[in-house]
Amino acid sequence: MTTASSYIACQDCDALYHERRLDRGEVARCRRCGALLYRARSGGLANAVALTLTAAICFVIANAFPLLGFKLEGRVQENILLTGVLELWHAGMWSLAVLVFLASIGAPALRIAGLLYVLVPLQLGRSAPGLRAALRYLQYLRPWSMVEVYMLGLLVAIVKLSQLATIVSGTALYAFVALMLALAAADAVLEPRQLWQRLRALAPA
Ligand SMILES: [Zn+2]
């Protein structure tokens, strides 16, 4: 969706409309093709800040505490989130190690930091250097943060390995689930259009 002053263009068919204020729960659809133009979300920004802060706390816990433990013949081996990446690296699968690191740790960390950098000043009505660039970079980064895919991989591993050893779920596993839910919820309440509007109101270009 492209916005320019009070006009809004349909992302699917490029029809141009005058933007108007919506009441709570209302959505604006394209008259020509029926695509969603925008929706009214009051309090979306405050909720997004709260959810992103939750995600940041969960991210720290998910990285600092044991993720999974394997109990086999009396021995318990605990692994943290980074263990898998290091194991891949030591096994000589460097490109896969880098990819797993980026998708499970690097990109989510950058994304949470970027979201906080953009959302907190906007919520407080303040400007910060490079806000526009940060907002653009967040949109590019979104597909690279694949916490959900990593979670799915973890679940498959747990089911497969549970036949060989006793699996002990660690604190980080619960934090990782909460991180996934908090990030998905922040995405659901975030309306990029609302962010750009706030940004324009702060520093008219
Ligand atoms: Zn349309």
Contact present, 123 and 131 (Cβ < 8 Å): no
Distance, CA of 26 to CA of 29 (rounded, Å): 10
Cβ–Cβ contacts within 10 Å for residue 68, how many?
Answer: 21
Ligand 1 mean position to 2 CA, how many Å? 12
Distance, CA of 55 to CA of 61 (rounded, Å): 10
36-39 and 27-29 beta bridge pairing? antiparallel
Ligand 1 mean position to 13 CA, how many Å? 4
Distance, CA of 73 to CA of 187 (rounded, Å): 44
Q: How does pLDDT run along the chain (205 residues), one tens digit per residue?
A: 544 457 888 989 999 998 887 777 788 899 999 998 887 766 678 889 999 999 999 999 999 998 888 888 888 888 888 888 898 999 999 999 998 888 888 888 999 999 999 999 888 888 888 888 888 888 888 777 777 787 888 888 888 888 888 888 888 889 989 998 998 888 888 877 778 878 887 765 5
Ligand 1 mean position to 132 CA, how many Å? 27
* Residues found in the chain: 205
Contact present, 10 and 160 (Cβ < 8 Å): no
| pTM beyond cutoff 0.85 | no
Ligand 1 mean position to 10 CA, how many Å? 5
The predicted structure's pLDDT at residue 112: 93
Alpha-carbon Rg for the chain in angstroms? 21
